[in-house]
Amino acid sequence: MLKQTPRPELSVWYNTRCPVCDAGITRQKRRLIEAVRAGRIEFRDINLEPAALAGHGASLEDIRRRLHATDADGRLLVGADVAIAVWAATPGEGWLAKLFGNRLALPLTRFGYDRFADLLYAWNRRKGRW
């Protein structure tokens, strides 16, 4: 009988070819080391799995542009919603999730994240990182 391993609470796909993205995720991995070791959270390089989220309608370019994640139920999270989920899981950063993820702030958080992500994506394209 094969034993199934449970899905992680959060699987985050990110772009290691973006130095800003890679540095941010490296920092979060260090803060979440226990959750990563226990398999509750995983961080995956989309460049190694370019079609990983095709079933959700997310292309490689979509994931290079914005963080994407799936939760334990297989639901897709995108952009600021991923950042909020990661903050909520990170010791000492739950306050960030509450501040930027509350119902009043969330539309502004998403707007700000998307504008920053657009600029970062354009910068990386100009630098020829992909």
Query: pTM here?
Result: 0.91
pLDDT value at residue 130: 84
Residue 16 phi/psi, 5-degree rounding, is: -70, -15
Whether 96 shows a pLDDT value over 90: the answer reads yes
Name the burial class of residue 95, with classes exposed (0-12), middle (13-18) and buried (19+) by CB atoms within 10 angstroms of its CB.
exposed
* CA–CA dist 56, 46 (Å, integer): 14
Three-state DSSP class for residue 77:
strand
Look at the block and give the residue holding tokens 């657009």.
Answer: 118
pLDDT value at residue 3: 63
Whether 4 shows a pLDDT value over 80: the answer reads no
Residue-wise pLDDT for 72-94, tens only, equals: 999 999 999 999 999 999 999 99
Residue-wise pLDDT for 5-54, tens only, equals: 678 999 999 999 999 999 999 999 999 999 999 999 999 999 999 999 99
* CA–CA dist 127, 29 (Å, integer): 26
For residue 9, give the DSSP letter: S
Strand 68-71 and strand 76-78: the pairing is: antiparallel
